[in-house]
Amino acid sequence: MSDATFFLDAVTAHVGTALERCRDRWGPATGLLADGYNLKSREPGHWEAAIVSDLSCQQNLIRSLDGLHQLTGADLWSDVADEWIGNALPKLTDAASNLWYWGGHTAWDLETDKILAGNHELKCVFPFYDFLYRVDAAATTKFIDAFWHAHIWDWSNLLFNRHGEYEQWNQDERFSGTFAGTGALPLIDNTALSFINTGSDLIYAGTEALRLNDDRVAYDWALHLLSCYEAIRHPETGLAGYQFNHRDPCRVRQSFVGQMGQQDDVNETTVITNNVIGTRYGRVAVCFLNQAMRLGDQARPLLEFVCKDLVALARHSWQGDEGIFQPLLNDGTLLTPAHTQDVGYCQPVKLRPVRANGLLLLSYARAYRVTGNDDFFQMAHAIAQAMGWGDVSSGPVDFQSLNSVSTPTEDTRAHGGQNDACALEALLDLYVASEDEVYMSSAISLGRRLVETHVVDGLFTSSGSSDNEQTGIDSAVPVALLRLAGTLSDSNEITPTLYPNITQFDPKVVVARRE
């Protein structure tokens, strides 16, 4: 059996298992899928009495189905995906707003065929708009418009909130505001939350509107929002934080001890915690690099944004002798847990260092692939070395002999062996950029290791192992393996692109709205 066939077979088994175990059969026929199941009982996962189906937590599965169709030519996979999503989009569309019932705080209960109603939230979800648009272009176009209009509070400065409401809005006035620029930053607002995890999803949606529908108005607004995160960049270090507004009194300064707790320049826009490193410099960076590859010169602002970020992080945060990225302020001041206390918004756990991992390896490897900048190449190699891979350019890495492939991010919401999938993607990027077969040999070894260690009863588990009884069906590993199979078959360009997304339903808003 060839390597490509081996990986295709593993992904085929995964999607077949996910569809068999999670296709709705527990209440009125919905055509939807449960998010996961119990590996021992094979019963669907529950929250309270609800069987949760959250389409935002199933985007990697859609990418896997589409990738199998593209690589094998088998209509079965496209037919299954078309039917599933063709049923899902009308059912999950809110008639008043055109938003979909999905995301961090809203889902569907397959047991009762009713909404688990919270609010609308996407945070580094990066939906597979390619496929969603293919199935229903009108609904997807309307959703992107609604997404922006549900979350933006002030079009003059693009202050927004990560939470949006399912409510009527005047669709004749789409993107009709006037952006006046960021003005003095940070903006002070005690209710808005301009987090880049939601901001990146808004920007990504705007770039997809351009790519899929030639919507230059949506893209212009995406660039306006990008400029808000650019505007908080420190003029000397190039570092930037998570958001462009903060609250008064400042939640971050409440955490800091000593003089730092009194400094005006210590706030939510200037502190770069381990979560900020993983999000802005990891997930968001890869997403924007993906869009730069797909849109070319039109996406140059996104590429320049990411390059500035990665250069600054390597220069000021990376501690090569320890193999870690150290949290810091945007002026370059390194931070440790000793700087804060267990109160406020920046408690000591957020200042633990970030160990070299697959997500950040992919940031630098993809940046090298897109730009050819040797500094990114050197950083990718340094990160791989710190992960225990040795010198990846001197010979193939034998992943069968390594204790672990990657290291976890601080953010435990990144399910599905995401770091391992990103590590595999990074090797493939280095191979594409250099055409050096040593990277391909390492990628094949890593791919085989992932199949051996991540598959339980035919499924790539959300934990990457059999340690947990509950598993989701949205592993990122199959998407990376399809790219590996495609590269081995000279069909790399037709496989769906991996976006290091976060897939999570958090019912706290559903609970709060019952009270």
Query: Cβ distance 120 to 106 under 8 Å?
Result: yes
What does the pLDDT read at residue 412? 42
Question: Regarding beta strands 159-160 and 354-355, do their DSSP bridges make them parallel or antiparallel, or are they unpaired?
Answer: unpaired
Taking the whole predicted model, whether its pTM rises above 0.75 is answered as yes
How many Cα atoms within 13 Å fall on the side-chain side of residue 335?
31
What does the pLDDT read at residue 468? 73
The candidate with the shortest Cα–Cα distance to 370, out of 422, 297, 476, 443, is 297
Q: Can you say whether the dihedral through the CA atoms of 407, 413, 417, 418 is positive or negative?
A: negative
CB contact set of 15 (below 8 Å; sequence gap of 6+): 61, 64, 65, 68, 77, 478
Element (H, E) at 37: strand 36-38
Tens place of pLDDT per residue across the chain (515 aa): 799 999 999 999 999 999 999 999 998 889 999 999 999 999 999 999 999 999 999 999 999 999 999 999 999 999 999 999 999 999 999 999 999 999 999 999 999 999 999 999 999 999 999 999 999 999 999 999 999 999 999 999 999 999 999 999 999 999 999 999 888 888 899 999 999 999 999 999 999 999 999 999 999 999 999 999 999 999 999 999 999 999 999 999 999 999 999 999 999 999 999 999 999 999 999 999 999 999 999 999 999 999 999 999 999 999 999 999 999 999 999 999 999 999 989 999 999 999 999 999 999 999 999 999 999 999 999 999 999 999 999 999 999 998 878 766 555 445 558 999 999 999 999 999 999 999 999 999 999 999 999 999 999 998 766 667 899 999 999 999 999 999 999 877 789 999 999 988 999 999 999 86
Element (H, E) at 207: helix 196-213
**Which spans in 257-357 are helix H?**
274-278, 285-295, 300-316
What does the pLDDT read at residue 407? 66
How many Cα atoms within 13 Å fall on the side-chain side of residue 457?
18
The candidate with the shortest Cα–Cα distance to 74, out of 138, 132, 8, is 8
Instruction: Show the tokens assigned to 400.
Output: 């069968």
Say how far apart CA 400 and CA 131 lie, in whole Å: 35
By CB atoms closer than 10 A (0-12, 13-18, 19+), residue 41 is: exposed
Say how far apart CA 129 and CA 494 lie, in whole Å: 15
Whole-angstrom Cα Rg for the chain: 22
